[in-house]
Structure 1
Amino acid sequence: MRKWLLLAFAALLVLPAVSKAVNQDSLWMYEHYTKKEVYIPMRDGVRLFTSIYLPKDGTEKHPILMTRTPYSCAPYGEKNFRPWYRNHYINYLKEGYIMVTQDVRGTWMSEGKFVNVRPFNPNKKGKQDIDEASDTYDTIDWLVKNLAGNNGNVGIFGISYPGFYSTMGALSGHPALKAASPQAPVTDWFLGDDFHHNGAFFISDAFSFYTAFDHPHPQPTTVGPKGIEYYTHDNYKYYLETGALPNFSRIIGDSVTFWREMYAHPTYDDWWKARNVRNFVQNVKPAMLLVGGIFDAEDCFGAWNTYKAIEEKSPATNNRIVMGPWYHGQWASNDGTHLGNIRFGSNTAAWYAQHIEIPFFNYYLKGKGQAPDIAEATIFFTGENKWKQLPKWPPANMAPTPVYLQNNDRLSFSKPSDNDSFSEYVSDPAKPVPYTEGVHFNRTINYMTDDQRFAARRPDVAVFESDVLDHDITLAGPVVADIVASTSTTDADFVVKVIDVFPDDFKYEEDAPSEHRRVPSATYPMGGYQMLVRGEIMRGKFRNSFEKPEPFVPNQPANVKFTMPDVAHTFQKGHRIMIQVQSSWFPLADRNPQQFMDIYKATDKDFKKATIRIYHDATHASSVILPVVP
């Protein structure tokens, strides 16, 4: 109690100064800007509602920075301004940018029909051939021709779904679009973002999203859907008792088109591939700045893999990536000092804004300063808490290095020599392994750095731990799980987790700025903490092909190999490396019935227990391939 009273008192000391600064920026914004709301016509006659914030200063020409969003460009009304002052976006106003937000086609105040992750059309011919790239082109064309005082240079940026629209905007080909920054961009909703990871359905994110999104409503409107009332704030209990996936469809109803379409496409078919942005990033013209969070629970996959796709398919593009130690969108917050219990030693969000994003747009849209000193890859390495500017990602000297699962719960860089060695557990869909500890209503933002000791104590989690490290080991790049496993049934999921085990006597020395301290003490005990560095799930039936799933032969060893999102982390001397393997991750991912079937049609009676074996012998060596750099 005393601790929280001290915290509250410290917050009161800081609050007046913060409020005063916010109020001053708010007053400044209203004094120096006007707002204009317009309908911009698209080539097929549909009009998109657009809010435009115009600087009153007429002494110079101004660049345009826009965001296209399905989440509303509220507040509506020309007297009502967005709170640009709440984060670093206020700097764009102080630099004299024309700020534009737009409700995308079929949402909120815009006309037309909304289509989730509307596929890119590379063969547009007539006025009726539209996509998000053409809508961006038409919007930019109208803006540069109709806004007095603009300098003819346009940028586009956005986080999450607006990140997807930023990627689509970069494909528009409009000559005025000079710079684009897709941030945590939705990229591939079957393999890695939001609603599926390697074919496993991320039920809690999908269900909570679509109960309050994409519901038919009269156009135009400023009123969003209401969502549903949950009968408990314990999400583990709610998703477990609701049961099989068809039960969730009955709750949502028939009105959400994309929900029905997801259920109708249970494999990685052409419908999903048309919605994979990476298939269309050839010949990208604007300068690109991909931004994401290493611990982004929604779209960690998107930033890494959109960047890599552009590198491969559009090698002439000025393409850069920034990845910080952040949850979804944390870089646009005012506090990048910590995530959950893990501390970063500085305000990483403020550093990013001032040294990367603002100089990027200032140079390409205003011609301000020299070419920004932004490396090809600017990556924050947790563990050692350092930003590193790299000429290539992954680094050229990265060496894929297998660490092998061993008998007696050990982990070693030497290949196992035992015969007939395996770890065994029973995976029970009635008692799935939770993704984090405790009771939660919503999926947490910090589970990707959470302590894994709760899981290590469970009998249905296989745990392998190294000796104490006698030197630092740095990882930089994708992690590959290469597991040999069997199941007593015909399907199973495999969750592989890479974990940093802190020394028993470890304490965090508090080095965050005083205004960001949550507790006014000098140290934080973290002894024995098992920090999740990277975890990922693989739906076993897709182990050989996402297009053509295959059943397991019961009790017969099979290779399950899959690539996990990139990491940037240093295991420090004195720590240990741990690998955990389990077959559920609930309710992050839906439960596998552990039978080879269309899971979207499974009933509550279809769920079966399975005996899982993870092999670690000379003939069947299981490993996790780590991207080690000197």
Structure 2
Amino acid sequence: MSPLRSLLSFAGVSMLSLACAAPALAAPASPAERVTPMTPDIVDHYEQVLPSADFIRREAMVPMRDGTKLYTVIVMKKGTQGGPILLSRTPYDAHEATHRVASQRIVDILETMDAEFAQDGYIRVYQDIRGMHRSQGTYIMNRPLAGPLNDTGIDESTDAYDTIDWLVKNVPESNGKVGIIGSSYLGFTTLMAEINPHPALKAAVPESPMVDGWMGDDWFHNGAFRVSSLDYAVGQATNKGDGGGEFALGKGDDYTRWLKAGSMADFAESLGISKVPGVRKFVENPAYTDFWSLQAVDKWLAVRPLSVPTMLEVGQWDQEDSYGAPAVYRALEPKDKANDMVTLVIGPWRHSGANHGGSSLGALDFTGDTAREWRTRYLKPFFDHWLKGAPDPHTPPVVTYATGINQWQESPRWPMGGATPLYLDADGTAGFARPSGAGHTDYVSDPAHPVPFIPRPIDMGNAAQWKPWLVHDQRFVSGRPDMAEWQTATLDKPVHIMGAPEVDLYAATTGTDSDWVVKLIDVYPNDVPEPADQGGRPSMAGYELPIGIEIFRGRYAKSFARPEALKPGQVTHYRWALPNVNHVFLPGHRIKVEVQSSLFPLYDRNPQTFVPNIMTAKPADYRKATQSVWFGGSQASAIILPVTEP
């Protein structure tokens, strides 16, 4: 066959093929429907959830008793029937919490901690609290319980009740049983649901809950103000929490920035935020008056019956809410007559770390993913029993992770350790024997050069700095002239503590006010056999690991509600607690105690001159002072360690 005939033959076959295929093509669009270069490119909606998705996601506006409607997202695996409801009430955007990744798998769209529940037929519900994001109503930060501070009859307790009531009536796939869980602010709303609870609420897990913002959670610690609270208040108050409230300060060292700013009131004025209600609440109420004390959630729970099984969780190195969970445990535990309704969990985590990966924290490595271990070994069996009728797992009254030896331990009560004083002594030594002599160690504290809480430059918005700061190697401040330190001899046997170490401090100042910061530190031996570079993390050789750090504002030595000036040169007795821990100081290690008078810019500076309101202190009020820590005799400063016997 000639080349030309072959070409014609091929063309004929091709044309025949096209003719045969033509009927399968879509009919031509009409001129009005055809896409042109000028066809608008906006569509009303694109549904990301495809028919192939393994989940169902619904949105609802749930009515409260006052008519306010709250945005609520309901997510469950396809085919769910008779599933329990697991609720979280949040100020941090319910839509985002249920839309974490654009995916067709339920384990992808939900938070990490939801995976085990979503796969096992739980119906996961997130709700924006009133006034935030897509919910109606007015937002009030940590809205007080209806009562002396709130005459509306509406609070987070009533909203939780109304929400649960709606869910059990309008989610046909449920078994009518509800559990509630959440961390931080969501821990607060979880606890609020337990006050006058709905009958369908069968179990609650408050994680790192905001309980008392003045005593030791987000806003103050023993009267010292946490600077980042201003940023939080403005961010929450702006655009229903949807952003736009960030301080436009650019990059730079926050230590320098806050030092230059002066007092909190001066800084607020310079940023134009002095009239923001949340900022005013802090600036105008620096003492523990009824304004704060009547908002303490542990006090509300202490006077009410215990009717909801509760598992309280907190991280040993929680940098935001270390106070709340143990405080609620102390309020609820006496009501738990059979020791089977309240559980306290302390894990080796940062704030909210229990809901993420738990294999490490900063330079620390643990044996396995401790967060997942807790969720699968204790958390889910707890909910399965109360919400699904699974066999009783006999959840222990206390579950803690012993750092130092890296193992979970179960206990009948908390604290477990007895009170064993670790005395401060002469020449920077510390020991368990009471000092034979008496004296004091001095240092000069200068508000113009406060001690940083982490190495500079400091970026308070940098999660890599903020989240693990409580385990940061403390050698960066050791030897400074504006602090004092004491250290034991090398330990020849382990010292195991289970509880909250207490500071028993006798101290004086030449000023009329002072802050006191105490650090309890585990000093590692300098010959730890490991490489200097562990995937970018530092070696533990010689590492000074903080086990507990806490501050106390001197003006509140006699009364948290009525501050008084300190008398220059007069020794004052201070007593306060460090965070709750389960830790083993190993043989070959040392125990170290440090005392300083600033922790900046985590906390505002004390001017060391008494003024009625530190928030409005003026530049001339900030003065140097000589600080004296006393030891031995009748003024024997010590750290009271909750030591357990081997």
- For 1:280, which of 300, 307, 331 is the aligned residue? 300
2:436 corresponding residue in structure 1: 417
1:445 corresponds to 2:467:
yes
**Counterpart of 1:134 in 2: which secondary structure?**
helix
Superposed, 1:209-608 pairs within 5 Å as: 209-215=232-238, 217=239, 223-250=242-269, 251-281=271-301, 282-312=304-334, 315=337, 318-333=341-356, 335-368=357-390, 370-395=391-416, 398-419=417-438, 421-442=439-460, 444-507=466-529, 519=535, 525-597=539-611, 598-608=613-623
Paired residues of 2:264 and 2:283 also in contact (CA < 8 A): no
Instruction: After superposing the two structures, state which structure 1 stretch, 457-466 or 75-84, moved more.
Output: 75-84
Where in structure 1 are there 5+ consecutive unaligned residues?
1-25, 511-516
Aligned residues: 585
Structure 1 residue 66 displacement after superposition: 0.8
Residues 582, 125 of structure 1: alpha-carbon distance in 2 compared, 3 angstrom cutoff: closer
Separation in 2, partners of 1:518, 1:211: 39
Amino acid of the residue matched to residue 235 of structure 1? D
1:98 corresponds to 2:123:
yes
- For 1:139, which of 143, 157, 163 is the aligned residue? 163
Question: Under a length normalisation based on structure 2, what TM-score does the superposition of the two structures give?
Answer: 0.86
Cα offsets for 1:134-187 (capped at 9, x unmatched): 000000001111111210100111111011000001113211000111001001
- For 2:626, which of 581, 604, 611 is the aligned residue? 611
Separation in 1, partners of 2:123, 2:456: 46
Separation in 2, partners of 1:77, 1:94: 15
Separation in 2, partners of 1:194, 1:30: 43
**Counterpart of 1:554 in 2: which secondary structure?**
coil
Residues 542, 329 of structure 1: alpha-carbon distance in 2 compared, 3 angstrom cutoff: same
Higher relative contact order (CA closer than 8 Å, sequence separation 6+): 1
2:64 corresponding residue in structure 1: 42
1:107 corresponds to 2:128:
no
Superposed, 1:94-243 pairs within 5 Å as: 94-121=119-146, 128-203=152-227, 205-215=228-238, 217=239, 223-243=242-262
**Counterpart of 1:31 in 2: which secondary structure?**
coil
**Counterpart of 1:507 in 2: which secondary structure?**
coil
Structure 1 residue 232 displacement after superposition: 3.2
Structure 1 residue 28 displacement after superposition: 11
Residues 172, 124 of structure 1: alpha-carbon distance in 2 compared, 3 angstrom cutoff: farther
Structure 1 residue 352 displacement after superposition: 1.1
- For 1:88, which of 109, 113, 121 is the aligned residue? 113
Cα offsets for 1:309-350 (capped at 9, x unmatched): 1113565671111111001111111x2111111222221112
Structure 1 residue 595 displacement after superposition: 1.3
Residues 287, 29 of structure 1: alpha-carbon distance in 2 compared, 3 angstrom cutoff: farther
Amino acid of the residue matched to residue 426 of structure 1? V
| The structure with more radius of gyration | 2
Paired residues of 1:213 and 1:225 also in contact (CA < 8 A): no
Cα offsets for 1:258-303 (capped at 9, x unmatched): 2201222121111101210011112132110111100010011112
**Counterpart of 1:456 in 2: which secondary structure?**
coil
Separation in 2, partners of 1:48, 1:85: 20
Separation in 2, partners of 1:261, 1:186: 17
Separation in 2, partners of 1:88, 1:166: 16
Paired residues of 2:77 and 2:119 also in contact (CA < 8 A): no
Residues 225, 372 of structure 1: alpha-carbon distance in 2 compared, 3 angstrom cutoff: farther
Identity of aligned residues (%): 36
Amino acid of the residue matched to residue 244 of structure 2? P
Separation in 1, partners of 2:169, 2:176: 9
Instruction: After superposing the two structures, state which structure 1 stretch, 113-122 or 583-592, moved more.
Output: 113-122
Structure 1 residue 62 displacement after superposition: 1.3
Amino acid of the residue matched to residue 36 of structure 1? R
Amino acid of the residue matched to residue 89 of structure 1? D
Paired residues of 1:493 and 1:537 also in contact (CA < 8 A): yes
> How large is the RMSD of aligned CA atoms in angstroms?
2.6
Residues 201, 524 of structure 1: alpha-carbon distance in 2 compared, 3 angstrom cutoff: closer
Where in structure 2 are there 5+ consecutive unaligned residues?
1-47
Structure 1 residue 122 displacement after superposition: 6.0
Residues 100, 412 of structure 1: alpha-carbon distance in 2 compared, 3 angstrom cutoff: same
1:7 corresponding residue in structure 2: none
**Counterpart of 1:108 in 2: which secondary structure?**
coil
Separation in 1, partners of 2:54, 2:309: 29
Separation in 2, partners of 1:192, 1:125: 23
Separation in 1, partners of 2:214, 2:51: 42
Amino acid of the residue matched to residue 323 of structure 1? I
Instruction: After superposing the two structures, state which structure 1 stretch, 246-255 or 109-118, moved more.
Output: 246-255
Separation in 2, partners of 1:266, 1:315: 38
Separation in 2, partners of 1:273, 1:384: 39
**Counterpart of 2:598 in 1: which secondary structure?**
coil
Residues 444, 508 of structure 1: alpha-carbon distance in 2 compared, 3 angstrom cutoff: farther
Question: Under a length normalisation based on structure 1, what TM-score does the superposition of the two structures give?
Answer: 0.88
Separation in 2, partners of 1:43, 1:86: 30
